[in-house]
Amino acid sequence: MHPFRRAVEAGDVSALESLFAEDAVFTSPVVFKPYAGKAITAAIVRGAARVFGDIHYVREIVSADGRDHALVFKATVNGLQVHGCDFLHLDEDGLIDDLTVMVRPLSAAKALAEAMGAQFDQIHREVAAAQATVPEPQ
């Protein structure tokens, strides 16, 4: 079981950030442009944890080299059942450098877009706080 899955299922959002590479990219199921960087990726995943109810993974598929994972999940968003998949790619250090999420059906994707849209003020505050704590290069 991948540590990402373990952390999500346990509701341990604090463990998630350490799993992402600095250059991680998050591709949303409802927004065209990907989000680049560890801080925004981690903040979006924390926002999703606040939005998804009773998320649980039903299948985990791993590539032969162990660097690609497909984590199929079920959850609820505003009372609608969501079926989805988290696609993870790991860099040479075993950190997640690419996270793509896909969801269905369309009604649930729309509910997810609305619920996540309501999270973005908090997400932006979390990113700003994370960037404020990073020391300047000497």
pLDDT digits (tens, 9 = 90+) for 101-130: 999 999 999 999 888 888 777 778 888 887
Number of Cβ atoms within 10 Å of the Cβ of 5: 17
Percentage of the residues of the chain whose pLDDT score is greater than 70:
96
CA distance 72 to 58: 6
In a domain, 100, yes or no: yes
Domain carrying residue 91: 3-132
Whole-model pTM? 0.87
Supply 56's token pair: 């649980």
In a domain, 79, yes or no: yes
Supply 97's token pair: 């450098």
In a domain, 12, yes or no: yes
pLDDT for position 76: 94
pLDDT for position 136: 54
- The mean pLDDT of 30-57, rounded to a whole number, is 91
In a domain, 73, yes or no: yes
DSSP strands (E only) in the chain = 20-27, 35-36, 53-62, 68-77, 80-90, 96-104
Residue 132 has pLDDT above 80, yes or no: no
More confident residue, 53 or 92: 92
pLDDT for position 138: 54
